[in-house]
Amino acid sequence: MIGDIFNLLLLNPMVNLLVILTNLLWGSFGLAVIAFTVLIRVATFPLTLRQLHQTRSMQHLQPRIQEINKKHSDPRRRQEELMKAYREAGVNPLGCLGPMLLQFPILIALFYAVQRALPQSPEALEALSGRLYDWSFIQHAVPLEEHFLGFDLREPHLVMVILVGLTTWVQTKTTLSVATDDRARAQQQMMGWMLPLMFGFFALSFPSGVSLYWIINSIVGIGFNIATYGLRLPRLDIQPLFKMPSRAAAAPAAIEPEKPQPAKGRGAGQERERESRTANGPGRSKRQNRRRRP
């Protein structure tokens, strides 16, 4: 049942869309993959922009988070204060994961879509015809050209593997860090190297068409990061194009340590008397001590 839902909602529409784009783009399946990637990123742009703003808001919130962690040793109280700080800043810590989680089902579906859209045998071509919609525009577009810029999009290629790792690494470098301490910062730096290596390793077994999707996806992601965060290099200073929402743009003030409030009225006199007794011995005031001196 899950396989049928996957085919109906993801795989079959993706195969047909790739065939349509290939037919529109002069029979180039590689250009179809690029156009498909851009369409996906444009469709998810509002979600991506929200994620980037959430990441920047989390960065601005770090001083207050550090103050809360230092001030409250009770985990329950610390969690309550953190949730309060998130609400005041309009930040959802899980909001940074949306576009990343959305990429995985698309990547899996594209892996199978490339295999189905570029059949390597007559039997696979017949199976492809069973997935195509009954439109003459689509039915007459197959078989598709499997080569693009000298690469066989059905097979993995070392150049594509290197480009997958490189573009993923650049994208992590243009993404803001939201580490709360040195340990978390070190973990993020390690992940900045592990993610490119991991996706490069996956690309060793991916068809080049899937690797092409990930390369273009990373390039578009780099562009979104620069447009949202800006880019500062020794001879290049690019300012952000998208401004943060006013609620999230205001940096929250650090938590001030609690100061003892001075007592008032009758309570003030009792407090001074108690301090005097404490400083000059239990149960005695400063005047009583002077009277008892020889």
Over the stretch 72-103, which tens digit does the pLDDT of each residue have? Answer: 777 787 778 778 877 777 776 665 566 667 77
Phi, psi of 232 (to 5 degrees): -120, 115
Q: At what angle do helices 98-117 and 122-129 cross, to 10 degrees?
A: 120
- Mean pLDDT taken over the chain: 77
Q: Encoding tokens for residue 260?
A: 């003892």
Q: Which of 129, 64, 58 is nearest to 95 (CA)?
A: 58
CA distance 269 to 13: 81
Digit-coded pLDDT (tens) for 123-135? 888 888 888 888 8
Length of the chain: 294
Q: Which secondary-structure segment (H or E) carries 206? A: none
User: Higher model confidence: residue 275 or residue 18?
Assistant: 18
Identify which of 138, 116, 130, 148 has the alpha carbon closest to the alpha carbon of residue 19. 138
Q: Which two tokens stand for residue 241?
A: 């194009």
Give the predicted TM-score (pTM) of the model.
0.73
| The pLDDT of residue 259 | 47
Predicted pLDDT at 35? 95
Contacts of 82 (CB under 8 A, 6+ apart): 65, 68
Q: How confident is the model at residue 260 (pLDDT cuts 50, 70, 90)?
A: very low
